[in-house]
Every structure is written in C-alpha cells, then in structure tokens.
C-alpha cells in the first residue's frame, strides 16, 4: 500500500533545482529573492548558488552591488538516468518558454550523444 504523506511535505525538485529555476526566471535576483521564491533560507541559497557555480551551471558576475547570473544551458544533468540530456530545454519548460524567446537558447560546445540501448543493432 502506498504511503500518503502530508500535502506539500515534499517537492519534485530539489532545493538546487528550485534555485536554478529561479535564476533562469530572474538572472538579476538577489539572494533573498531567490531564497523566498525557492522556499529556503538565505544561507542555504548562498551555498546552493556556490554549488551551481562550482558545477558549471551558472556564472556569477558582480555588477555594482548586485550579482548577475548567466546560465550554462548546455550543461548536462548530474544523475546517471539523465545522462546525455541538457538542462536548457528543462529550464525553458519550467520558465514557460522565456529562455527560448531570447536570441540564443544555448550554445553547445560539443555534440550531444544520446545513450543507446545495448544490443540494439550496435556492433
């Protein structure tokens, strides 16, 4: 029998995912705005933004007293089950197409190769 937890006791995305989506929605947002939109503390948001920068998903540039974030939409997912998939289309979906309305959705440095099933006609 399936467990039924409290409504809202878990979310589909991790806190890292929520912060990344919020950066995609507003690359000029302040930490407190990212935290509020993601439903986490400012301290947690600072750590997550650092993780996203270190992992190559985001570049942070200081502009006056604020930060400007640039997304690297050609970056791949970190989990093996999404190997070969890029975050750009995922973030575009979660921002209701705002990213694809820009001039360039993402630049890909190397061609994307999708995983193939073993024994599916491969030598």
- What pTM was estimated for this model as a whole? 0.75
> Has residue 119 been placed in a domain?
no
**Structure confidence at residue 112 (pLDDT):** 44
What is the structure's pLDDT at 7? Answer: 67
Radius of gyration of the chain (CA): 17
- The residue with greater pLDDT, 98 or 40, is 40
Question: What was the pLDDT predicted at 64?
Answer: 87
CA 56 to CA 52: how far, in whole Å? 6
| Structure confidence by residue, pLDDT tens digits, 57-116 | 999 998 888 899 999 988 999 989 988 899 999 999 999 888 777 654 444 444 444 455
Domain holding 57: CATH number? 1.10.10.10
Inside any domain, residue 118:
no
The Cβ of residue 24 has, within 10 Å, a number of other Cβ atoms equal to 21
Confirm whether 121 is domain-assigned.
Answer: no
Domains of the chain: total: 1
Query: Would 76 be classed as within a structural domain?
Result: yes
Per-residue pLDDT, 99: 79
Q: So what's the pLDDT on residue 14?
A: 93
Domain carrying residue 73: 15-94
Tell me whether residue 106 is in a domain: no
> Per the domain annotation, does 7 fall within a domain?
no
| 24 lies in some domain | yes
Strands (E), 6-97: 58-63, 66-71
């Amino acid at each position: 029998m399936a467990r039924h937890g409290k409504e809202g006791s878990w979310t589909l995305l991790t806190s890292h995912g929520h912060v990344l989506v919020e950066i995609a929605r507003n690359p000029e947002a302040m930490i407190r705005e990212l935290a509020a939109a993601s439903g986490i503390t400012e301290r947690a948001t600072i750590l997550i933004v650092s993780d996203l920068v270190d992992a190559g998903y985001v570049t942070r540039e200081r502009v006056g007293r604020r930060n400007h974030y640039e997304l690297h939409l050609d970056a791949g997912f970190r989990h093996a089950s999404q190997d070969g998939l890029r975050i750009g289309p995922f973030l575009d979906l979660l921002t209701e197409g705002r990213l694809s309305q820009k001039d360039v959705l993402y630049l890909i440095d190397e061609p994307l190769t999708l995983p193939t099933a073993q024994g599916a006609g491969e030598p």
